[in-house]
Structure 1
Amino acid sequence: MTKPMTKTQLVAALADEMDADKKAASNALDAIVSIITKEVSGGGAVTLPGVGKIYCRERPARMVRNPATGEQIHKDADKVVKMTIAKALKDSVNG
């Protein structure tokens, strides 16, 4: 398995793909991240065509176990960010 792409590498690849400079690509990436963050934190969802859907899901309050001691602890309800991967991406990886 290879290392994940860093932000610098992603910006360079995006600039190359867009035929733009790295500053424009960095601004575009930052804008996309900002839009996704605002939408998902507000309870919405964002679909990235060909990649997947990012959304927020609420988890109910529950009892969890501390693995070190085995003690049962009550955990309050919280929210978690999830992502469903698009079928096209799955197929390209597996095909």
Structure 2
Amino acid sequence: MSLNKSELVSAIAEKSDLTKAQAEDALNAFQEVLIESLGKGEAVKLTGLLSVERVERAARTGRNPRTGEEIAIPAGFGVKLSAGSLLKKAVSA
């Protein structure tokens, strides 16, 4: 089972005494801040919960799985997400 965005908005609204519209605005603002920060190369850390950072990926050689042909994969960026102690504790219980 997973929680979709509207269910998450409802849960946030319920736990925080916000309206659903206010909760959705807050969630959308968080999303924008996260995207802008990562775009600038800044890490976002919520102590105990999670850490998100942009990581560099070196250029490398890959292989086309259909043909077996080697292909050059250019250098680029990826996203690394690390669970904090609160998340780790929640899933181990």
What interval of TM-score do these two structures reach, taking the shorter chain for normalisation?
Answer: over 0.9
1:15 is paired with a residue whose SS is helix
| Alignment match of 1:82 (pick from 52, 63, 80) | 80
Distance of 1:50 and 1:22 partners within structure 2: 26
| Residues 46-65 of structure 1 aligned to structure 2 (within 5 Å) | 46-65=44-63
Aligned length: 93
Superposition misfits of 4+ residues, deviation over 4 angstroms: none
1:20 is paired with a residue whose SS is coil
Residue 15 of structure 2 corresponds to residue 8 of structure 1: no
User: What is the TM-score with the length of structure 1 in the denominator?
Assistant: 0.92
Identity in percent:
35
| One-letter amino acid of the counterpart of residue 8, structure 1 | S
Structure 2 spans left out of the alignment, 5+ residues: none
| C-alpha RMSD of the superposition | 1.0
User: Shift of the alpha carbon at 1:34?
Assistant: 0.6
Distance of 2:48 and 2:17 partners within structure 1: 21
Distance of 2:20 and 2:63 partners within structure 1: 47
2:8 is paired with a residue whose SS is helix
